[in-house]
């Protein structure tokens, strides 16, 4: 072989390496786009075949009910394993954000309350998590993929009463909760530990006029607010003197059950505990509001190491194309409202018929520092121990 042919061979080899390198980089980019835009149809059978070559699927979740979905998933897809990490919403967001900053990929699927603003700001807007919603399921979902978030169920942070102590709701106006007779008898999660409670507390800041009218209806005079304090701040300061703060809604439910609490503010999904003998009932009608709507999102890690398993699991969780899949059934209980138009839930009362606020994530994001400072001051002033 002469020198010219050798040089030509070397150049051809280099060109081939560049082509291969370029294809690899392009392939990685296309994979990221595929997760975000779901532009290539994939059947459950195709995903399952590829998922068998992957590792254990890691799911970070704020809902313990996802364990039932995991069990059914592993029955339906032998050979696949799912590990659930159960965290509170603030801890979940912090753990995933810090891991991402440190260059570690710690999960494949994320399930989190998506209304407080933290989830969207820290994980969605940064691209750490991305939506995966196949077209054959998306067509059955209610108002999905807004702001790049896939909400798979609707709930409410709302007021409950002890149904052993009361035959009917003991209050008709939110301001009644600030009266002395309820001191130490109202339980609620700390808004600094619960995204859903934070949403309820923060959303009230957007409804000053409704709060003012409710105050006049309750006490017959104008609220004694002066200076720069808003009426919402005045309300929460007054209410906090009557409240026992907890870490979670589960603790609120327990205190309603054992009689420590007359009233409780917690997530509506705890209504399913009635099957276990918990004696509390929701307050659906209250002036001006009995709570705030919330929703939970299911998202996929943008750097999932088990992308096929993650997509298959999300499809399963959402009930598959026809809505009959076992994965969605654990969430179709009393106190949670279906995000699918073709799947009924376990409620006698529609979410639209309850006196609830609708959260404004942008507002909560813009006012996060104010809200955090306010609640830190409230806990310090009232000598509450932060849960």
Domain holding 282, by residue range, is 155-293+351-381
Q: Which residue, 295, 303, 296, is CA-closest to 36?
A: 303
Q: In terms of Cα–Cα distance, which of 122, 109, 48 is closest to 80? A: 48
Q: Evaluate whether residue 27 is within a structural domain.
A: no
Q: Is residue 75 part of a domain?
A: yes
Residue 263 near residue 182 (C-beta atoms within 8 A): yes
pLDDT at 383: 64
Residue 184 located in a structural domain: yes
* Contacts with 356 (C-beta within 8 Å, 6 or more apart), sequence order: 156, 158, 289, 290, 291, 292, 293
If asked whether residues 187 and 47 sit together in one domain, one would say no
pTM of the model: 0.85
Helix ranges (H only) for 38-103 are 44-51, 66-76, 89-101
Helix/strand/coil for 52: coil
Structure tokens at 104: 């570690």
Q: What is the pLDDT of residue 279?
A: 94
Would you say 356 and 156 are in contact if contact means Cβ atoms under 8 Å apart? yes
Question: 227 and 261 share a domain?
Answer: yes
Q: What pLDDT does 147 receive?
A: 73
Six-digit token string for 215: 């105050």
Compute CA distances 271 → 63, 321, 332, 334, whole Å: 14, 28, 12, 6
Number of separate domains in the chain: 2
State pLDDT tens for residues 177-216: 999 999 999 999 999 989 999 999 999 999 999 999 999 9
Are residue 182 and residue 310 in the same domain, yes or no?
no
Q: Are residues 236 and 299 in the same domain?
A: no
Whole-angstrom distance, CA of residue 227 vs CA of residue 1 = 92
Going by pLDDT thresholds of 50, 70 and 90, the confidence category of residue 7 is: very low
95-114 residue pLDDT tens: 999 999 998 989 999 999 87
CA distance 113 to 125: 15
Nearest to 296 by CA among 165, 144, 172: 144
Does residue 12 form part of some domain? no
Strands 129-130, 291-301: pairing is antiparallel
In terms of domains, do 192 and 136 share one?
no
**Residues 174 and 235 reside in one and the same domain:** yes
Does residue 7 lie in a domain region?
no
Shared domain for 183 and 247, answered yes or no, is yes
Residue 33 belongs to some domain of the structure: no
Count other C-beta atoms under 10 Å from residue 24's C-beta: 10
Residue 61 falls inside a structural domain? yes
pLDDT tier at 335, thresholds 50, 70, 90: very high
177 and 326: one domain?
no
The CATH number of the domain holding residue 333 is: 3.40.190.10
* pLDDT tens sequence across 50-72: 999 999 999 999 999 999 999 99
Residues of the chain with pLDDT > 70: what percent?
Answer: 87
Task: Indicate if 311 and 275 belong to the same structural domain.
Answer: no
* 323 and 224 within one domain: no
Q: Are residues 196 and 229 in the same domain?
A: yes
Residue 27's pLDDT is 31
């Amino acid at each position: 072989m002469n020198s010219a042919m050798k040089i030509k061979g070397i150049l051809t080899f280099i060109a081939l390496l560049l082509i291969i390198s370029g294809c690899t980089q392009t392939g990685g980019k296309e994979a990221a786009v595929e997760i975000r835009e779901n532009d290539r149809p994939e059947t459950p059978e195709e995903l399952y075949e590829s998922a068998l070559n992957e590792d254990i699927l890691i799911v970070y979740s704020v809902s313990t009910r996802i364990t039932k979905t995991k069990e059914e998933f592993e029955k339906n897809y032998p050979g696949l394993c799912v590990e659930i990490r159960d965290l509170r919403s603030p801890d979940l967001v912090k753990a995933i954000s810090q891991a991402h900053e440190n260059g570690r990929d710690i999960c494949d699927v994320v399930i989190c309350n998506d209304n407080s603003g933290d989830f969207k700001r820290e994980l969605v807007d940064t691209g750490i998590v991305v939506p995966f919603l196949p077209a054959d399921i998306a067509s059955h979902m209610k108002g999905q993929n807004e702001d790049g978030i896939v909400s798979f169920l609707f709930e409410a942070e709302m007021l409950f009463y002890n149904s052993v102590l009361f035959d009917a709701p003991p209050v008709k106006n939110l301001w009644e909760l600030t009266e002395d007779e309820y001191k130490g008898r109202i339980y609620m999660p700390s808004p600094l530990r619960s995204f859903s409670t934070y949403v309820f507390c923060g959303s009230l800041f957007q409804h000053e006029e409704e709060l003012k009218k409710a105050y006049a209806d309750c006490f017959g005079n104008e609220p004694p607010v002066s200076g720069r304090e808003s009426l919402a701040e005045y309300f929460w300061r007054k209410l906090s003197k009557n409240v026992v703060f907890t870490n979670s809604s589960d603790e609120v439910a327990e205190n309603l059950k054992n009689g420590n609490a007359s009233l409780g503010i917690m997530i509506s999904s705890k209504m399913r505990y009635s099957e276990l003998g918990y004696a509390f009932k929701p307050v659906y009608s209250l002036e001006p509001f009995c709570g705030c709507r919330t929703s939970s999102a299911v998202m996929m890690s943008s750097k999932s190491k088990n992308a096929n398993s993650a997509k298959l699991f999300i499809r399963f969780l959402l009930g598959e194309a026809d809505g009959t899949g076992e994965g969605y059934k654990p969430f179709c209980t009393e106190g949670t409202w279906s995000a699918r138009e073709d799947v009924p839930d376990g409620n006698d009362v529609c979410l639209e018929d309850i006196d609830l606020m609708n959260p404004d994530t942008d507002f909560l994001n813009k006012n996060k520092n104010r809200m955090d400072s306010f609640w830190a001051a409230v806990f310090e002033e009232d000598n509450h121990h932060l849960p």
